[in-house]
A = this chain, B = another copy of it.
Amino acid sequence: MGDTPAFEHAVRVGWADCDPAQIAYTGRLPLFALESIDAWWQHALGGYSGWYYLETELGFGTPFVNLSMDFRAPVTPRHPLMCEVYPTRLGTKSISFAVKGRQDGVLCFEGSFTNVFTQAASVSTREPPPEIRAIIEPLIRA
């Protein structure tokens, strides 16, 4: 993809997200990252809200099997949190994403996330539909 900018999802960070240390509570950051992956699906596939659309309209789910995050700088309400999302690998039955959260140009966290493809409303893994694979493959970055 060369230097094409990847997808970014903006998160509003507010008082509600902050703990007594006056920064966003650590437990909110995986939620922000996941919301950004959800928004990536919406961006990639169109339709409405990501996983909800996949599950209720397209008949498959993508449960998480792993997540790993490094926290680099505090997240605060002073700036929007820009979450860059891109897929890093598409296996036969799994997909991995990178998410990088930045505020005012500063990297606040980065993480990797792996999901498996399943039949909707089940835990049976499956291959993603070919048309979904065709959409995702050109978006993969190292």
Chain A residues proximal to chain B, CB less than 8 Å: 12-16, 18-22, 25-27, 30-31, 34-35, 38-39, 48-53, 55-56, 61, 63-71, 74, 76-79, 121, 123
Excluding A52-B78, A66-B68, 17 further A-B contacts by CB distance (< 8 Å) are: A12-B35, A13-B49, A15-B50, A15-B52, A16-B19, A16-B35, A20-B20, A20-B52, A21-B55, A21-B61, A21-B63, A22-B56, A49-B77, A52-B77, A53-B77, A66-B70, A74-B123
Q: How many copies of the polypeptide does the oligomer hold?
A: 4
How far is B79's CA from A85's CA once the two chains are assembled, in angstroms?
22
How far is B34's CA from A66's CA once the two chains are assembled, in angstroms?
16
Residue of B nearest to A74 (CB): B123
Q: Given A49-B78, A77-B48, A123-B74, is A18 in contact with B20 using a C-beta cutoff of 8 Å?
A: yes
Question: In the assembled complex, which residues on chain B have CB atoms less than 8 Å from the CB atom of A16?
Answer: 19, 25, 27, 31, 34-35, 38
Question: In the assembled complex, which residues on chain B have CB atoms less than 8 Å from the CB atom of A20?
Answer: 15, 18-20, 22, 52, 55-56
A48 in contact with B18 (CB, 8 Å): no
Question: In the assembled complex, which residues on chain B have CB atoms less than 8 Å from the CB atom of A61?
Answer: 21
